[in-house]
Amino acid sequence: MWIIFYFVMAIGLFTLQNICFKKFNSKFMINPDSYFIFNAIYFALICGIYFAFGLDTSVFTLPAIALGLMFAVSFTFAIFFYMKAMEHGPLGLSFLFFSAGMLWPIVFGIIVHNQPAPLHNGVGLVLLFIALYISTQGSKSETSGKLSRTWVKLILLSSECNGVIGISLQLFSMVVYSYGVTEFLFLSFGQAAIISLIIGTVMLIKNKGNLSHFRKPAFVWVTLGATVSTAGGNYIMVALTMLVSALLQFPVINGALVITSILASRIVFKEKVTKNQFITIGVGLVAIILLSI
């Protein structure tokens, strides 16, 4: 019963995270400095949540800090490219290819651990490229079914950065500890907050910008939503790795999130999903499942 509850909570929290990112992108991301300052705020709040639960400071070693920095940089730019991609394509389709970043930890495992490359993973990879190709096609009568090259570049960059996040977690469990993931997330988001604050401040000064649009009440709710969903979702994902097999965890959660992202794009943001994009999502969903198992 608790396992089902964890699954539902993880799916719900990451769906909320997607909605908050899209809301921020449409209402508050006037320029990149807005994004980095937003990051600095909500990353710091995430650290506050993890700190409140208590931390084992013995985990804070130099290798852990280095891998936390790897996570911090990749997470910061993964979400940046993801948000920019959502300016050029629908939420559901963007999340589909963003989540395909799991491909890189799989490749990393094959190279470093000499793990066998299962046939179904290869089929999933082929289907993923087919889905990406379909997403960029569209008939003359359905131009809205064709996504721009800008979207393709941004979503591939976000997917690659997302894959590095997974690799940093793998390296942490291999090189440092097989436990202490909460401490690792605290280190990672703490460094991400510092990096974002520095970049955002430099950009604000250089561009002579201002953050007056952050004073709107909606910004508070978007920030709190991003904080709770990111902190809670990542914590539950860690808890689930101790309770169920990855063969069950990742296909179920990633597959469900593709579906909930499509629903959110239709219901919350009134985005139209064309027939061409539905086909892409169907092929991509099968690819994600095959890559996850």
pLDDT at 213 over 90: no
- The SS3 assignment for 204 reads helix
CB contact at 8 A, 72 and 192: yes
* DSSP-derived secondary structure letter, 148: P
- The SS3 assignment for 86 reads coil
pLDDT band at 81; cut points 50, 70, 90: very high
pLDDT at 116 over 70: no
For the chain, give the number of residues. 293
User: How confident is the model at residue 221, as a pLDDT?
Assistant: 93
pLDDT band at 216; cut points 50, 70, 90: confident
Q: How far is CA 142 from CA 41, 199, 274, in A?
A: 41, 40, 8
Continuous H helices in 208-216: none
* DSSP-derived secondary structure letter, 100: G
Question: Rounded distance, CA 260 to CA 262, Å?
Answer: 5
Tokens encoding 289: 């499942």
Q: Of 156, 181, 171, give the one whose Cα is nearest residue 108.
A: 171
User: How confident is the model at residue 8, as a pLDDT?
Assistant: 87
Tokens encoding 106: 């799989």
CB atoms within 10 A of CB 279: 15
CB atoms within 10 A of CB 137: 13
CB atoms within 10 A of CB 119: 9
pTM for the model: 0.79
Looking at per-residue confidence, does 134 or 185 come out higher? 185
Tokens encoding 199: 């970049």
Provide CB contacts within 8 A for 206, sequence distance 6+.
none
What percentage of the chain carries pLDDT values higher than 70? 78
